[in-house]
Amino acid sequence: MTPFCCSQTFTPSPSPTSIAKFISDQPHLSMLEKRCATMSDLRKIHAHLIKTGLISHTIASSRLLAFCASPAGNINYALMVFSQIQNPNLFIWNTIIRGFSRSSTPQTAIFLFIDMLVGSPLEPQRLTYPSVFKAYAQLGLACFGAQLHGRVIKLGLDCDRFVRNTIIHMYINCGFLSEARQLFDESSELDLVAWNSMIMGLSKCGEVGESRRLFDRMPLRNSVSWNSMISGYVRNGKCVEALELFGKMQGEGIKASEFTMVSLLNASGRLGAIRQGEWIHEYITKNGIELNVIVVTAIIDMYCKCGSVNKALSVFKTAPKLGLSCWNSMVMGLAMNGCEEEALELFSRLESSIDLRPDGVSFLAVLTACNHSGMVDKARDYFSLMRGKYNIEPSTRHYSCMVDVLGKAGHLEEAEKLILSMPINPDAIIWGSLLSACRKHGNIEMAQRALERVIELDPSESSAYVLMSNVYGSSSHYDEAVKQRINMKEKRIEKEPGCSLIEVDGEVHEFVAFGRTHPRAKEIYSLLSE
């Protein structure tokens, strides 16, 4: 990127009093402050400022830039405005850098920061650095962000809470958990933002136990703290714990938001806890929580996962607004609940929609419907349609679905050929799908090839050994079947125990094969022995 040319002189930022007086004296600037809501409004004001010559005034140009760089504005228009400002002050630099750090092109924020260092007599201040760290976080460039962290330490700004919080966020977002934790632990004063960032970061990296320990140590919690912990539990598959924590949240009188509800709906769906899910749906309605696209999608998804397709359809038909995610969840829900024809019909309606266009998730849902119903020709058609009409490149999940469809129907050679022709490297799941199909159709040679690939990609995958043992067993090669089981023992690979869940009076109970962790395990086994 070519550096922006900046004059070696600069205009200092005016005082708040002079700004207020200047704006009040200019009708168009007052309008910009109070009534400008769209870029169309702003362009008219911009034209007037150019015509009257006011655009050369620092206050006028900075206020114009501030709107362009806001979420309601246009960041590229903001860059154009910025490039025409002769002597940008610190406020103007901070505004344009902050705007790009929030945009879809955060790298521009970094380029602008470098231009400021190289071409401007101004020195970045405490309000400049957080935006740059945020840009590094979005780009996943913690290594370069660490260099900036060093500069911040030299300048003595590392003690500034605002700067430190964005550094912690950057390290966490880039997966540098130990660096974030060290900075967190070394800080003498921690605010809620830092605590919440660490809780979210630990959960994101799978350290949900440590996340909960930090949560319990917090001197003060807000709704973000509770939501972060609940969503962390759900993300890590601890759905029962998420629902229990929500009960404590209610006990402390913390108001639940739409984010809380989405996490709880996801937890209920994963557990198949229909009564709990219905209660949450009712809670949303009673408490006036907005039924936006995200919430509606979560409700549909929950009902589908709990097997209540009719309730999901009712929500889908009566929702105030439907986004693509709502359509995708409904198509997938129908497919997963044995309503394949209805799923295909709904997908067809989506294709006919004026406002929406199917994406990769839409095609995964319709391919799942074809897979469950064994519609091989339909699956081939949809798979071709992805690239041919919509220019969507199939992901590993699409290929896995196609391999499953072909394999179940006995088209093993075609399935293997599809895997070998993939432009991306097939994973263990895809080869596992082929291995499963080989078991069904008794193709030992292909099963051996598939097993080799699975072991190569994931040596600890127990299901592959079990499937191969079953392939040999179903073909009466019992010695080879036993060898596979012995091989598992020698490599200390254990098959994951079966697990089931039931809901009784709104409470979810989890049972693991041969497990004794349930609080009433003694009574259960005592009853079984009778």
> What is the rounded average pLDDT for all residues in the chain?
84
- Is 48 within 8 Å of 30 (Cβ atoms)? no
Distances (CA, A) of 387 to 153, 384, 395: 51, 6, 12
DSSP classification of residue 15: P
Q: How far, in Å, CA of 60 to CA of 473, rounded?
A: 81
- Is 257 within 8 Å of 231 (Cβ atoms)? no
Of 458, 449, 406, the residue nearest 429 (C-alpha): 458
The whole-number pLDDT of residue 520 equals 73
Number of Cβ atoms within 10 Å of the Cβ of 392? 17
What count of residues does the chain have?
A: 530
Which tokens sit at 312? 């999901």
Of 155, 147, 205, the residue nearest 181 (C-alpha): 205
Burial group, residue 119, by CB count within 10 angstroms (0-12, 13-18, 19+): middle
Is residue 3 very low, low, confident or very high in pLDDT (cuts 50, 70, 90)? very low
Q: How far, in Å, CA of 357 to CA of 366, rounded?
A: 14
Is residue 25 very low, low, confident or very high in pLDDT (cuts 50, 70, 90)? very low
Comparison of pLDDT for 435 and 282, the residue scoring more: 282
Helix (H) or strand (E) holding 504: strand 499-504
pTM of the model: 0.75
* Cα-only R_g, the chain: 29
The whole-number pLDDT of residue 23 equals 43
> Does residue 507 sit in helix, strand or coil?
strand
Helix (H) or strand (E) holding 250: helix 239-251
Distances (CA, A) of 530 to 478, 523, 524, 526: 36, 11, 10, 7
pLDDT digits (tens, 9 = 90+) for 329-382: 999 999 999 999 999 999 999 999 888 999 999 999 999 999 999 999 999 999
> Angle between the 177-186 and 192-204 helix axes, to the nearest 10 degrees?
150
The whole-number pLDDT of residue 32 equals 56
HSE-up (13 A, CA, CB side) for residue 137: 24
